[in-house]
Structure 1
Protein backbone atom coordinates (compact mmCIF):
# COMPACT_ATOMS: atom_id res chain seq x y z
CA UNK A 1 0.00 0.00 0.00
CA UNK A 2 1.46 3.38 -1.00
CA UNK A 3 -0.05 6.56 0.41
CA UNK A 4 0.77 10.17 -0.31
CA UNK A 5 -0.96 12.69 1.85
CA UNK A 6 -1.05 16.43 1.76
CA UNK A 7 -2.25 16.81 5.31
CA UNK A 8 -2.34 20.58 5.58
CA UNK A 9 -1.80 23.62 3.41
CA UNK A 10 -1.33 27.22 4.41
CA UNK A 11 -2.04 28.61 7.83
CA UNK A 12 -5.07 27.11 9.52
CA UNK A 13 -6.57 25.47 6.46
CA UNK A 14 -9.27 23.56 8.33
CA UNK A 15 -10.63 21.72 5.30
CA UNK A 16 -7.26 20.26 4.36
CA UNK A 17 -6.37 19.46 7.98
CA UNK A 18 -9.66 17.62 8.30
CA UNK A 19 -8.92 15.57 5.17
CA UNK A 20 -5.59 14.52 6.72
CA UNK A 21 -7.33 13.55 9.95
CA UNK A 22 -9.99 11.68 7.97
CA UNK A 23 -7.36 9.77 5.98
CA UNK A 24 -5.57 8.72 9.17
CA UNK A 25 -8.82 7.64 10.82
CA UNK A 26 -9.74 5.59 7.74
CA UNK A 27 -6.33 3.90 7.90
CA UNK A 28 -6.65 3.18 11.63
CA UNK A 29 -10.21 1.90 11.26
CA UNK A 30 -9.11 -0.42 8.44
CA UNK A 31 -6.32 -1.77 10.66
CA UNK A 32 -8.83 -2.39 13.45
CA UNK A 33 -11.12 -4.20 11.00
CA UNK A 34 -8.17 -6.45 10.15
CA UNK A 35 -7.65 -7.31 13.82
CA UNK A 36 -5.42 -4.57 15.21
CA UNK A 37 -6.12 -3.32 18.73
CA UNK A 38 -6.19 0.48 18.67
CA UNK A 39 -4.60 0.99 22.09
CA UNK A 40 -1.70 -1.30 21.07
CA UNK A 41 -0.86 0.54 17.83
CA UNK A 42 2.67 1.84 17.34
CA UNK A 43 3.92 4.00 14.50
CA UNK A 44 7.03 4.15 12.36
CA UNK A 45 7.24 7.31 10.24
CA UNK A 46 9.37 7.77 7.13
CA UNK A 47 9.56 10.42 4.44
CA UNK A 48 8.90 14.10 4.35
CA UNK A 49 11.93 14.98 2.23
CA UNK A 50 12.03 18.32 0.42
CA UNK A 51 13.24 17.07 -2.92
CA UNK A 52 12.11 19.67 -5.45
CA UNK A 53 13.56 23.14 -5.20
CA UNK A 54 11.08 25.94 -5.78
CA UNK A 55 8.02 24.06 -4.53
CA UNK A 56 6.42 24.35 -1.12
CA UNK A 57 7.80 22.01 1.50
CA UNK A 58 4.94 19.51 1.53
CA UNK A 59 7.15 16.99 3.32
CA UNK A 60 7.62 19.30 6.31
CA UNK A 61 3.88 19.94 6.43
CA UNK A 62 3.13 16.21 6.37
CA UNK A 63 5.80 15.54 8.99
CA UNK A 64 4.34 18.17 11.33
CA UNK A 65 0.84 16.80 10.79
CA UNK A 66 1.94 13.20 11.39
CA UNK A 67 3.82 13.96 14.60
CA UNK A 68 0.95 16.07 15.95
CA UNK A 69 -1.68 13.48 15.00
CA UNK A 70 0.21 10.61 16.63
CA UNK A 71 0.77 12.61 19.83
CA UNK A 72 -2.88 13.66 20.03
CA UNK A 73 -4.07 10.10 19.45
CA UNK A 74 -1.61 8.62 21.95
CA UNK A 75 0.03 6.40 19.34
CA UNK A 76 3.72 5.95 20.24
CA UNK A 77 6.23 6.78 17.51
CA UNK A 78 8.87 4.05 17.90
CA UNK A 79 10.99 4.83 14.83
CA UNK A 80 11.31 7.80 12.54
CA UNK A 81 13.39 9.00 9.63
CA UNK A 82 11.92 12.29 8.49
CA UNK A 83 12.97 15.28 6.42
CA UNK A 84 16.16 15.83 4.52
CA UNK A 85 16.50 16.03 0.76
CA UNK A 86 16.77 12.39 -0.32
CA UNK A 87 14.22 9.84 -1.43
CA UNK A 88 13.73 6.72 0.64
CA UNK A 89 13.13 3.13 -0.39
CA UNK A 90 11.37 1.19 2.33
CA UNK A 91 10.71 -2.43 3.10
CA UNK A 92 8.23 -3.26 5.84
CA UNK A 93 7.11 -6.55 7.33
CA UNK A 94 3.73 -5.92 9.03
CA UNK A 95 3.67 -9.17 11.00
CA UNK A 96 6.94 -8.44 12.80
CA UNK A 97 7.06 -4.65 12.47
CA UNK A 98 10.53 -4.84 10.96
CA UNK A 99 11.44 -1.91 8.71
CA UNK A 100 14.42 -1.38 6.44
CA UNK A 101 15.30 1.88 4.76
CA UNK A 102 17.63 2.87 1.95
CA UNK A 103 18.20 6.58 1.48
CA UNK A 104 18.95 7.16 -2.19
CA UNK A 105 21.26 9.76 -3.64
CA UNK A 106 18.69 10.68 -6.28
CA UNK A 107 17.70 14.30 -5.91
CA UNK A 108 16.50 17.05 -8.19
CA UNK A 109 18.33 20.08 -6.90
CA UNK A 110 21.95 21.09 -7.23
CA UNK A 111 22.51 22.51 -3.75
CA UNK A 112 24.46 20.67 -1.05
CA UNK A 113 22.57 17.55 -0.08
CA UNK A 114 22.87 15.74 3.21
CA UNK A 115 21.02 12.61 4.23
CA UNK A 116 18.77 12.85 7.28
CA UNK A 117 19.88 11.05 10.40
CA UNK A 118 17.52 8.22 11.37
CA UNK A 119 16.24 8.58 14.93
CA UNK A 120 14.66 5.95 17.11
CA UNK A 121 14.90 2.19 17.30
CA UNK A 122 13.99 -0.72 15.06
CA UNK A 123 15.31 0.71 11.80
CA UNK A 124 17.69 -1.20 9.57
CA UNK A 125 19.51 0.44 6.68
CA UNK A 126 20.05 -1.59 3.53
Structure 2
Protein backbone atom coordinates (compact mmCIF):
# COMPACT_ATOMS: atom_id res chain seq x y z
CA UNK A 1 0.00 0.00 0.00
CA UNK A 2 1.26 3.48 -0.69
CA UNK A 3 0.06 7.02 -0.18
CA UNK A 4 1.56 9.69 -2.35
CA UNK A 5 0.88 13.40 -2.12
CA UNK A 6 1.96 14.59 -5.58
CA UNK A 7 1.97 12.64 -8.84
CA UNK A 8 5.48 13.44 -10.04
CA UNK A 9 8.74 15.08 -9.18
CA UNK A 10 11.20 16.25 -11.76
CA UNK A 11 14.06 15.05 -9.58
CA UNK A 12 15.90 12.06 -10.97
CA UNK A 13 16.69 8.97 -8.91
CA UNK A 14 20.40 9.89 -8.78
CA UNK A 15 19.52 13.36 -7.38
CA UNK A 16 17.57 11.96 -4.45
CA UNK A 17 19.10 11.74 -0.97
CA UNK A 18 18.45 8.08 -0.13
CA UNK A 19 17.56 7.12 3.43
CA UNK A 20 19.69 5.15 5.85
CA UNK A 21 19.57 1.34 5.57
CA UNK A 22 17.66 1.61 2.27
CA UNK A 23 14.41 2.48 3.99
CA UNK A 24 11.96 4.38 1.80
CA UNK A 25 10.73 7.60 3.31
CA UNK A 26 10.00 10.97 1.75
CA UNK A 27 10.74 9.82 -1.81
CA UNK A 28 7.48 7.89 -1.77
CA UNK A 29 5.45 11.08 -1.35
CA UNK A 30 5.68 11.31 -5.16
CA UNK A 31 3.67 8.90 -7.30
CA UNK A 32 6.48 8.12 -9.72
CA UNK A 33 8.73 6.95 -6.86
CA UNK A 34 5.96 5.43 -4.72
CA UNK A 35 4.59 3.19 -7.45
CA UNK A 36 8.03 1.92 -8.50
CA UNK A 37 8.93 1.22 -4.88
CA UNK A 38 5.69 -0.63 -4.11
CA UNK A 39 5.89 -2.86 -7.17
CA UNK A 40 9.58 -3.61 -6.62
CA UNK A 41 9.04 -4.60 -2.99
CA UNK A 42 6.21 -6.93 -3.98
CA UNK A 43 8.32 -8.55 -6.73
CA UNK A 44 11.38 -8.87 -4.46
CA UNK A 45 9.24 -10.70 -1.91
CA UNK A 46 8.00 -13.29 -4.40
CA UNK A 47 4.99 -11.57 -5.93
CA UNK A 48 4.26 -12.24 -9.58
CA UNK A 49 3.55 -9.31 -11.88
CA UNK A 50 0.70 -11.18 -13.58
CA UNK A 51 -1.07 -11.55 -10.21
CA UNK A 52 -1.02 -7.86 -9.29
CA UNK A 53 -4.37 -6.13 -8.78
CA UNK A 54 -4.71 -2.48 -7.85
CA UNK A 55 -7.20 -0.74 -5.59
CA UNK A 56 -7.15 3.03 -6.03
CA UNK A 57 -8.59 5.38 -3.40
CA UNK A 58 -8.40 9.08 -2.74
CA UNK A 59 -7.78 12.09 -4.88
CA UNK A 60 -10.43 14.16 -3.15
CA UNK A 61 -10.31 17.92 -3.54
CA UNK A 62 -10.20 18.46 0.20
CA UNK A 63 -9.20 22.13 0.01
CA UNK A 64 -11.22 24.30 -2.37
CA UNK A 65 -8.67 27.11 -2.44
CA UNK A 66 -5.85 24.87 -3.70
CA UNK A 67 -5.19 23.43 -7.13
CA UNK A 68 -6.79 20.07 -7.80
CA UNK A 69 -3.82 17.88 -6.89
CA UNK A 70 -6.23 15.03 -6.21
CA UNK A 71 -7.33 14.95 -9.85
CA UNK A 72 -3.70 14.96 -10.99
CA UNK A 73 -2.97 12.05 -8.61
CA UNK A 74 -5.96 10.10 -9.93
CA UNK A 75 -4.92 10.68 -13.55
CA UNK A 76 -1.32 9.68 -12.77
CA UNK A 77 -2.31 6.48 -10.94
CA UNK A 78 -4.75 5.34 -13.63
CA UNK A 79 -2.27 6.06 -16.43
CA UNK A 80 0.62 4.40 -14.57
CA UNK A 81 -1.37 1.24 -13.87
CA UNK A 82 -2.51 1.08 -17.48
CA UNK A 83 1.06 1.48 -18.75
CA UNK A 84 2.25 -1.28 -16.39
CA UNK A 85 -0.66 -3.57 -17.41
CA UNK A 86 -1.87 -3.84 -13.83
CA UNK A 87 -5.59 -4.52 -13.52
CA UNK A 88 -7.59 -2.06 -11.42
CA UNK A 89 -9.88 -4.07 -9.16
CA UNK A 90 -11.59 -1.31 -7.17
CA UNK A 91 -11.71 2.48 -7.11
CA UNK A 92 -13.18 5.18 -4.91
CA UNK A 93 -11.68 8.42 -6.18
CA UNK A 94 -12.36 12.12 -6.50
CA UNK A 95 -15.13 14.05 -4.77
CA UNK A 96 -14.53 16.54 -1.96
CA UNK A 97 -13.82 14.33 1.03
CA UNK A 98 -10.73 12.85 2.63
CA UNK A 99 -10.81 9.11 3.19
CA UNK A 100 -9.70 6.69 5.83
CA UNK A 101 -8.37 3.47 4.28
CA UNK A 102 -7.71 0.22 6.08
CA UNK A 103 -6.00 -2.49 4.06
CA UNK A 104 -5.64 -6.15 4.98
CA UNK A 105 -2.64 -7.35 2.97
CA UNK A 106 -3.09 -11.06 3.72
CA UNK A 107 -6.55 -11.16 2.15
CA UNK A 108 -6.33 -8.14 -0.11
CA UNK A 109 -9.43 -6.53 1.38
CA UNK A 110 -9.68 -2.77 1.68
CA UNK A 111 -12.15 -0.77 3.74
CA UNK A 112 -12.75 2.87 2.84
CA UNK A 113 -14.65 5.47 4.80
CA UNK A 114 -15.27 8.97 3.48
CA UNK A 115 -14.88 11.54 6.22
CA UNK A 116 -17.95 13.70 5.56
CA UNK A 117 -17.96 15.56 8.85
CA UNK A 118 -14.76 16.94 10.26
CA UNK A 119 -15.06 18.35 13.74
CA UNK A 120 -12.07 20.64 13.27
CA UNK A 121 -9.78 21.93 10.58
CA UNK A 122 -6.88 19.62 11.44
CA UNK A 123 -6.79 17.83 8.09
CA UNK A 124 -7.17 21.05 6.11
CA UNK A 125 -4.40 22.73 8.08
CA UNK A 126 -2.06 19.75 7.70
CA UNK A 127 -2.67 19.69 3.94
CA UNK A 128 -1.92 23.42 3.67
CA UNK A 129 1.26 23.11 5.74
CA UNK A 130 2.41 20.05 3.84
CA UNK A 131 1.82 21.63 0.44
CA UNK A 132 3.98 24.62 1.44
CA UNK A 133 6.92 22.41 2.43
CA UNK A 134 6.76 19.43 0.08
CA UNK A 135 8.99 20.84 -2.64
CA UNK A 136 11.49 22.36 -0.17
CA UNK A 137 12.22 19.26 1.90
CA UNK A 138 14.88 16.74 0.93
CA UNK A 139 13.62 13.60 -0.72
CA UNK A 140 15.07 10.27 0.33
CA UNK A 141 14.18 6.62 0.19
CA UNK A 142 14.98 3.63 -2.01
CA UNK A 143 13.61 3.07 -5.48
CA UNK A 144 14.87 0.50 -7.93
CA UNK A 145 13.70 1.22 -11.45
CA UNK A 146 12.77 -1.84 -13.47
Q: TM-score, normalised by structure 2?
A: 0.63
Large movers: runs of 4+ above 6 Å: none
Q: Greater RCO between the two (CA within 8 Å, min separation 6)? A: 2
Any idea what the Cα deviations from partners look like across 1:47-71, whole Å, max 9, x if unmatched?
0000101111110000000000001
Q: Distance in 2 between matches of 1:34 and 1:81?
A: 28
- Aligned with residue 46 of structure 1, among 39, 47, 57: 57
Quote the residue 1:124 is aligned against. Answer: none
Q: CA RMSD in A?
A: 2.5
User: How many aligned positions are there?
Assistant: 104
Any idea what the Cα deviations from partners look like across 1:8-66, whole Å, max 9, x if unmatched?
4xxxxx827x9633331121001111221112100000000001011111100000000
Quote the residue 2:26 is aligned against. Answer: none
SS in 1 for 2:10: helix
Q: Distance in 2 between matches of 1:33 and 1:70?
A: 19
Q: Name the structure where helix makes up a greater proportion of residues.
A: 2
Q: Name the structure where strand makes up a greater proportion of residues.
A: 1
Q: Distance in 1 between matches of 2:98 and 2:80?
A: 23
